[in-house]
Structure 1
């Protein structure tokens, strides 16, 4: 599967809603029925590398490790000016999940402040952002006015989630059916819960992007153990397309 092309000239700030417009599909606004809450930690992810140190079963993207999931495809987004990878978008069953990881203060959290920034950004575009308690904790469901493919007026809908970890912050943006439909979102929510964030020990200013890298080779990663080959119950590794071209 080939990587999709995206227009991007600068890295999105951690609180920006701009990526919501790129990731979400134009659709009429609907209510999100998700319920419940979740936190990061040893019992439910996303995980810190200290809690999940092994790379087995994961695609290594530097600051992020993505668990092997059948049917999952990866798209890496490159900033034209710096040539660095600034985000990874995961596609599964017609929905998408964009992930970005940031440095965070040791003794402070970022998600409350970032939600307020997203609400302000969405409002400035004439949209709305509703705060909800969802399956992944406190979320934002954002709707920005847009023209649908048939020319009618509709909305670009995106669902923002965030997790404050030890010295890192992980932001996810669900697009497509997963932004609005809890059943459609469930498979990508499982992917999100299994993400491992590799903060590293280097001192970084709060909100700096953690460095993402291309997988080490072009073959699907990680490889399954030989004893699991042919077992349909074992998830296939995420598919990887050809090397990305510069986005611009």
Structure 2
């Protein structure tokens, strides 16, 4: 698929007697094929507006809003959502094994869990492989996942059933433009990568909480 900066050697079709000489003269050029989502080492230098949440940098398209969900018990951030006309998008990153394949496991578990909760579930295939659609009452859900280098990225959009046809496109656009900052620290597999808020956003929330306490 050409994601995560997987590299492809070029210029390997020279005649056999000329290969050794070509290698001695110059290093074979490499081209990084990146279609997103991106590991930080392959992050594009583009003009896409993103909110920096520490472990993930999530695109914020025009006409959308950022909503922060706090965890009162833990005193931290539970999730950050990008609210679009088609639904609420949440992108989360997790520690994963080098071998990959975590999304297949998580997707299968999620399918069972949703069915146990009474949801109408429809597994399918999409841009990065397995995708999952679910309907709970009038709320339509779409899940996608991507396995990266020692991380897994999961995206979900929740919105009205009337927007279910457009929601997957919006979700994929945001996931495709996301940059993951895994870091080098060892972590147990499936550990959520930490989310931190930009200083301005954190200060605004702190002021709101102080006003509520007053």
Report the TM-score range of the alignment, normalised by the length of the smaller protein.
0.7 to 0.9
State the number of aligned residues: 179
Q: Secondary structure at the match of 1:243?
A: helix
Q: 2:168 matched to 1:206?
A: no
Relative contact order higher in (CA < 8 Å, ≥ 6 apart): 1
8 A contact 1:101–1:210 mirrored in 2: yes
Bigger mean CA offset, 85-94 vs 204-213: 85-94
Q: Secondary structure at the match of 1:111?
A: helix
Unaligned residue ranges in structure 1 (runs of 5+): 1-37, 147-154, 219-239
In the other structure, the counterpart of 2:37 is 46
Change (3 A) 1:165 1:72: same
Change (3 A) 1:183 1:136: farther
8 A contact 1:179–1:185 mirrored in 2: no
- Cα distance per residue 1:105-137 (max 9 Å; x no partner): 122321111111111111211223211112443
In the other structure, the counterpart of 1:73 is 65
Moved beyond 6 Å, runs of 4+ = none
8 A contact 2:86–2:159 mirrored in 1: yes
Unaligned residue ranges in structure 2 (runs of 5+): 6-33, 210-214
- Cα distance per residue 1:86-117 (max 9 Å; x no partner): 32211122422111111111223211111111
TM-score (norm. length: structure 2): 0.72
Q: Secondary structure at the match of 1:217?
A: helix
8 A contact 1:103–1:210 mirrored in 2: yes
User: Which of 1 and 2 has greater Rg?
Assistant: 2
Deviation at 1:83, TM superposition (A): 1.8
Greater fraction of residues in strand: 2
Distance 2:114 2:167 in 1: 24
Greater fraction of residues in helix: 2
1:146-185 alignment runs, 5 A limit: 146=137, 155-177=138-160, 181-185=164-168
1:43-122 alignment runs, 5 A limit: 43-52=34-43, 57-122=49-114
In the other structure, the counterpart of 1:140 is 132
